[in-house]
């Protein structure tokens, strides 16, 4: 029984709908539910395409629940990151069918991690994006691995180390999005794309996707493992713990 999401299949399209209020922030239980539903969708013969979307207005996923990090040991944080970075990547790599991240609101930090694990990212005009980890004294380590390959080294560095928010038009121009839609047409556009894919040969999709993943992600798995270590090393520092507490207390951090 899922507490924080819904799963349903209609016309060969599976929808995993995130519903952990108030912001779909990742707890370990929530992440485990997502991974379990992705694995279910992978084996579901009635599902030929998988959509990940949100039931929270104006939010796709805000990232990590800060309770996962504050006051925790490196070992405890690593347990979670192994699930978010490595298990999520492995699950998506072996899905055998296309996955679509449907973003109609804010995606930050771990929400970006979930989105980029999918094969396509569709966003409405009112969406926003960001890698705010550096503002909290943390490292957006997983994104060091993929973002420079997508948008180039120098633009990636600016986004990752400024921690600034950016919006749909910029994300699309950088190549981070597959498609942009109006808010009014968002649901219809997602369904249209998913329906188109669901009508393809399942065998061709499975074999083609596997070949695509092998061609484009040969070194990604090694980079993901490194990202776990990099994030954990930053998360246990006094600056990171101060940054997280300052965020919760709505004040400026006092760095060492």
Distance CA 3, CA 70 (A): 24
- The per-residue pLDDT for 22 is 95
Percent of the chain predicted with pLDDT > 90:
86
- The per-residue pLDDT for 217 is 74
DSSP string of 52-112?
EEESSTEEEE--B-GGGTTT--HHHHHHHHIIIIIIHHHHHHT--S-EEEEE-EEEETHHH
**Does residue 223 surpass a pLDDT of 90?**
no
Residue 220: which pLDDT band, with cuts at 50, 70 and 90? Answer: confident
For domain 5-185+198-203+219-248, give the CATH superfamily.
2-enoyl-CoA Hydratase; Chain A, domain 1 (3.90.226.10)
- Closest C-alpha among 247, 246, 245 to residue 70: 245
Instruction: Tell me what the mean pLDDT of segment 111-118 comes to.
Output: 96
Instruction: Tell me what the mean pLDDT of segment 207-221 comes to.
Output: 85
Q: Do 186 and 104 contact (CB within 8 A), yes or no? A: yes
- The per-residue pLDDT for 222 is 72
Residue 74: which pLDDT band, with cuts at 50, 70 and 90? Answer: confident
4-60 residue pLDDT tens: 999 999 999 999 999 999 999 999 999 999 999 999 999 999 999 999 999 999 999
- The per-residue pLDDT for 256 is 83
Q: The pTM is what?
A: 0.94
Joined together, the tokens standing for residue 36 give 């379990």
Beta-strand (E) ranges in the chain?
5-10, 13-18, 49-54, 58-61, 99-103, 105-108, 120-124, 128-130, 165-167, 179-181
Q: Do 85 and 116 contact (CB within 8 A), yes or no? A: no
Residue 141: which pLDDT band, with cuts at 50, 70 and 90? Answer: very high
Q: Do 39 and 91 contact (CB within 8 A), yes or no? A: yes
- The per-residue pLDDT for 123 is 98
C-alpha distances (whole Å) from 6 to each of 17, 36, 98, 235 are: 5, 12, 19, 31
**Does residue 202 surpass a pLDDT of 90?**
yes
Mean confidence (pLDDT) of the chain: 94
**Does residue 224 surpass a pLDDT of 90?**
no
Instruction: Tell me what the mean pLDDT of segment 111-132 comes to.
Output: 97
- The per-residue pLDDT for 69 is 92
Q: Do 129 and 167 contact (CB within 8 A), yes or no? A: yes
C-alpha distances (whole Å) from 135 to each of 132, 140, 141, 252 are: 5, 10, 14, 10
Q: CA 118 from chain center: how many Å?
A: 8
End-to-end CA distance of the chain: 45
């Amino acid at each position: 029984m899922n507490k924080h999401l819904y799963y349903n299949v209609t016309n060969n399209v599976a929808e995993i709908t995130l519903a952990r209020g108030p912001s779909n922030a990742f707890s370990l239980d929530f992440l485990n539910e997502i991974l379990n539903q992705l694995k279910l969708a992978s084996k579901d013969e009635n599902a030929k395409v998988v959509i990940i979307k949100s039931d929270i207005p104006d939010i796709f996923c805000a990232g990590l629940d800060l309770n996962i990090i504050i006051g925790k040991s490196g070992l405890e944080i690593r347990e979670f990151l192994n699930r978010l970075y490595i298990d999520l990547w492995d699950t998506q790599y072996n899905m055998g069918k296309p996955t679509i991240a449907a973003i109609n609101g804010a995606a930050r930090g771990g929400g970006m991690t979930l989105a980029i694990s999918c094969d396509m990212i569709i966003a409405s005009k009112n969406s926003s994006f960001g890698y705010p980890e550096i503002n909290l004294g943390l490292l957006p380590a997983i994104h060091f691995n993929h973002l420079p390959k997508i948008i180039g080294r120098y633009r990636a560095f600016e986004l990752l180390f400024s921690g600034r928010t950016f919006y749909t038009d910029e994300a699309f121009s950088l190549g981070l999005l597959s498609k942009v839609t109006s808010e009014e047409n968002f649901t219809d556009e997602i369904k249209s794309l998913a329906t188109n894919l669901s009508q393809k040969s399942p065998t061709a999709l499975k074999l083609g996707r596997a070949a695509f993943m092998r061609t484009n992600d040969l070194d990604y798995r090694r980079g993901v493992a490194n990202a776990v270590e990099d994030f954990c090393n930053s998360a246990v520092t006094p600056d990171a713990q101060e940054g997280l507490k300052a965020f919760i207390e709505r004040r400026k951090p006092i760095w060492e």
